[in-house]
Structure 1
Amino acid sequence: MANTVDAMKKMSKKEITRVFLLQNGLLILLGIGIIFISSGILNWTKQLSFSLGAIILAVVLAVVVGFLNVVFDRLLPERLTDDGGLNKLIFKDRGIIDILWLCVLIGVAEELLFRGIIQFYFGFWASVILFVLVHFRYLNKVYLLFNITITSIIIAGLFQFSNQNLIAVIVFHILFNFIGALDMRNRYQNEGGVAHGEERRREHGERRRSRV
């Protein structure tokens, strides 16, 4: 993980974007190809059918879970929520539209793979476990591991509950990531302005001592 972050620190913002475009673009093409070839046109259109109820549920879930995630990220000490600096590297200096496109790309690519292929063919828990393992930078932090596991279960559950509707889980994934990414961007750009819980308590203690 440290090697990955160190390598990315040497890249420009454009180079990091190209890496994401290449990796997730290939995942999208792979997912579309496998789903289309193995399922046929009928199952393909069924998984991508528009369901207003499923999409509304996805939006509500993403907003609730996303904002709960933001609250915990702000309250907990940074040592529990730090992923090694990769999120900071990716989101700190990006514009909102840039972040949105990255979230769309990641959401589409990962859901085509994990829900459209893995969960469709191998089941609920296979998609949950593999989704967690792919986010390997979270595995050595208890809170991050718990967080990504719960998120994975929620997405897999939404896929099952929505009658395997890919659009619903893609919408959830995009919105959930976008909420978290915007909060990270704001915190990283205003370091000291919006602190983690531990830092906030330390600053409060210092202010109290200065009054004595």
Structure 2
Amino acid sequence: MANAVETMKNMSKKEITRVFLLQNGLLILLGIGIIFISTGILNWMGQLRFDWVSVFLGVALACVFGGLNAWLDRLLPERLTDDGGLNRLIFRNRKPLDIFLLCCLIGVTEEFIFRGIIQVYFGFWASMILFVLVHFRYLNKGYLLFNVIITSIIIAGLFQFSNQNLIAVIMFHIVFNFIGALDMRNRYQNEGGVARG
């Protein structure tokens, strides 16, 4: 983890964005391959239905838990909330629109994989555990691990509650991440101007 942060310190904003695009693009291609092999894209696309109630519930939950998460991040000592500096590197010097687009990319990709494939085929617990393990940089930080576990349970539960509505969990993930990322950007900006735009 320390090596990843050190490597990213030497990268430009464009290079960091390219890494995110490549990583998420590969995940999407892997997911599409799994879908084609298992059920076919047309059967799977039934999960991409727009249901106002489910989407509203996803956005409302994201606002509540995202706001609570941002408040706790400001309240708790930085030693509990710091992920080793990776989030600071990703979100510093980014405009809100850039942050929103990154959150869209991450939300779509992760929910496509974890809920749209893993939870559908392997169940609630598999999607939750794998989601936590993918966020491995939080595994040695008690508060951050607790946070990602609770978030994973909420997202997996929303997916079940919404009759496997992928759009509802994608909206939750995007809004939740955007609230947290924007709060981080604003805190870094207030700590000495590292975030601008």
TM-score, with structure 1 as normaliser: 0.88
Give me the whole-angstrom Cα distance separating, in 2, the residues matched to 1:36 and 1:159.
Answer: 22
What residue number does 1:74 align with?
74
Deviation at 1:192, TM superposition (A): 6.5
For residues 136-194 of structure 1, what are the alpha-carbon distances to aligned partners after superposition, in whole Å with 9 as ceiling and x for unaligned?
A: 1101111000000000000000000011111111110001000000000000111169x
Report % sequence identity.
79
Question: 5 Å matches for 1:54-93?
Answer: 54-93=54-93
What residue number does 1:199 align with?
none
Q: Tell which deviates more after alignment, 41-50 or 53-62.
A: 41-50
Question: Secondary structure of 2:11's match?
Answer: coil
Give me the whole-angstrom Cα distance separating, in 1, the residues matched to 2:165 and 2:106.
Answer: 17
Larger Rg: 1
Size of the aligned set, in residue pairs, is 193
1:91–1:184 Cα contact (<8 Å) kept: yes
Q: Which runs of 5+ in 2 are unaligned?
A: none
Deviation at 1:49, TM superposition (A): 1.1
For residues 59-89 of structure 1, what are the alpha-carbon distances to aligned partners after superposition, in whole Å with 9 as ceiling and x for unaligned?
A: 1000000000011000000000000000000
Give me the whole-angstrom Cα distance separating, in 1, the residues matched to 2:192 and 2:16.
Answer: 26
Give me the whole-angstrom Cα distance separating, in 1, the residues matched to 2:52 and 2:36.
Answer: 24
Give me the whole-angstrom Cα distance separating, in 2, the residues matched to 1:42 and 1:139.
Answer: 37
Give me the whole-angstrom Cα distance separating, in 1, the residues matched to 2:114 and 2:45.
Answer: 18
Question: 5 Å matches for 1:34-183?
Answer: 34-183=34-183
Give me the whole-angstrom Cα distance separating, in 2, the residues matched to 1:10 and 1:136.
Answer: 22
Structure 1 stretches of 4+ moved >6 Å? none
